[in-house]
Amino acid sequence: MPPVRCARCGAEDARYHISFARTSLCAACYVRYYERKLKATVLKYGMLKVMRRPLVALSGGKDSTSALVGLKSVFPDLEVTALYIDLGIPGYSEESERVVRKVTDELGVELIVHRLKNDGRTVPELARGRFKRKPCAICGTVKRYVMNKIAIETGHDTVVTGHNLDDTVEVLFELYRRGLLEEAVRLRPVLLGDGVRLTNRVKPLFEMTDEEDLYYVDAKGIEVVESWCPLVRGAKTVSRKVLIHEIESKIPGFRHTLLKAHVKRFLPVLERAISQPELKRCAVCGYPTTSDVCSYCRAMRPVTLKRDVGSSGAGASNGEEGLR
Ligand code: AMP
Ligand code: FES
Ligand code: ZN
């Protein structure tokens, strides 16, 4: 095949083909393109005004690594800390931690490591119990809880995650299909906290695709975890992403159009129509929840709970649940 020319500078090594934009760029032009887009997204959604002391939740995957590296490159004065949660998944967690340590060392970013096993139960332990059928769901709940708690305890006002356009579209697809409007209204690039026990949450990659994040770390020569979590096999989120890619191949631009429709058309209406659930304080840990005891405490300390406060029944939902 003849070498592809970069659409911006004409160099012959245009290795990065952005499929939805039908354009190919060389590494240097790609990095410029990505960082410019990241900056525009951050400014467009007012993220800089919200995050004075951000805590980047870093999994070692391509997305959260792109978020950290991108933010540091575009806003070098931003005082960023990274948080890695060791979920206790044999092999996968150690490899992720190695990669996370490497990138934070290279960037000179402070890293906080939180080990779930010190909280009582690792994700594989949770997945052996009553969460057997849905390890990713309880894993997500636990991660969100830990991100918020560590941010509060360490004086960070905002948690930054690597959720991107593909993640959002995948969830949107499901929420609209099932009519879960209370959750759809919270699916946005910036979620404000309460300034006390709930931090702000910001998604700087809200408009980036999986492909764009992958190209960015590749073009910058940054190592990321490439293996999948072993518990994710067969998860519905993966099959939905595959399905969405099939739709995209038949309807080009499907993902971007859906995201835009959500942000511009649906969200303003949903925000007016749907009131946020009232948050109480968890009887055990004091963090916000919609039920008496939050999902984290119910999952992590079922034995203590039965003895001390009585289990408030499985299925009640935490204010954090379902949020992305
Ligand atoms: P996921 O729940 O795997 O879809 O990840 C969503 C976001 O949560 C990622 O983009 C990261 O920002 C964050 N995240 C996931 N896993 C971890 C982890 N082990 N430690 C810290 N942050 C994480
Ligand atoms: Fe959460 Fe695999 S990372 S279930
Ligand atoms: Zn609790």
The model's pLDDT over 93-121, given as tens digits with 9 standing for 90+, comes to 999 999 999 999 999 999 999 999 999 89
Above 90 in pLDDT, residue 318?
A: no
- What's the chain's average pLDDT? 90
Q: Which residues does ligand 2 sit against, CB inside 6 Å?
A: 87, 123, 135-136, 139, 229, 231-232
Question: Nearest CA to 267 among 190, 199, 161?
Answer: 190
How confident is residue 238, by pLDDT bands cut at 50, 70 and 90? confident
| Ligand 1 and 71: CB distance under 6 A | no
Stretch 147-175: mean pLDDT, rounded? 96
**Backbone angle region of 252, left / alpha / beta, with phi > 0 → left and psi within -120 to 50 → alpha:** beta
Any idea which ligand is nearest the CA of 228?
Answer: 2
Question: Nearest CA to 104 among 114, 113, 115, 117?
Answer: 113
Above 80 in pLDDT, residue 90?
A: yes
| Ligand 1 and 63: CB distance under 6 A | yes
| Ligand 1 and 68: CB distance under 6 A | no
Half-sphere exposure (CA, 13 Å, Cβ side) for 314?
A: 8
Q: What is the pLDDT of residues 269-287, one digit of tens each?
A: 999 999 888 899 999 999 9
In the chain, at which residue ranges do the beta strands (DSSP E only) sit? 16-18, 23-25, 54-57, 81-86, 110-115, 158-160, 190-191, 200-202, 280-281, 288-289
Residue 72 vs residues 68, 95, 109, 159: alpha-carbon distances, Å: 6, 23, 9, 15
| Ligand 1 and 201: CB distance under 6 A | no
| Ligand 1 and 162: CB distance under 6 A | yes
Atom 3 in ligand 2: residue holding the nearest Cα: 229
In 75-228, at which residue ranges do the beta strands (DSSP E only) sit? 81-86, 110-115, 158-160, 190-191, 200-202
Atom 12 in ligand 1: residue holding the nearest Cα: 161
The per-type count for the chain, helices as H runs and strands as E runs, is: 14, 10
Distance 129 CA to ligand 2 centre (A): 15
Place of tokens 């002391």: 53
Domains defined along the chain, listed by start: 29-275 (3.40.50.620), 277-324 (no CATH)
Higher-confidence position of 321 and 68: 68
Atom 18 in ligand 1: residue holding the nearest Cα: 59
Stretch 256-261: mean pLDDT, rounded? 97
Q: What are the residues whose beta carbons fall under 8 Å from the beta carbon of 177, sequence distance 6 or more? A: none
pLDDT at 312: 40
Q: Which of 40-44, 138-142, 158-162 has the lowest mean pLDDT?
A: 138-142
| Ligand 1 and 209: CB distance under 6 A | no
Atom of ligand 1 nearest to the CA of 160: 12
Atom 16 in ligand 1: residue holding the nearest Cα: 59
* CA dist., res. 308 & res. 18, Å (int): 55
Query: Best of 58, 59, 109 to mutate for ligand 1, by most ligand atoms within 8 A of CB?
Result: 59
DSSP reduced 3-state for 24: strand
- Could you tell me how far CA 297 lies from the centroid of its own chain? 22
Atom 2 in ligand 1: residue holding the nearest Cα: 140
The torsion defined by the Cα of 64, 80, 115 and 92, in degrees rounded to 10, comes to 30
Atom 9 in ligand 1: residue holding the nearest Cα: 162
Q: What DSSP character marks residue 293?
A: S
Question: Nearest CA to 37 among 254, 253, 215?
Answer: 215
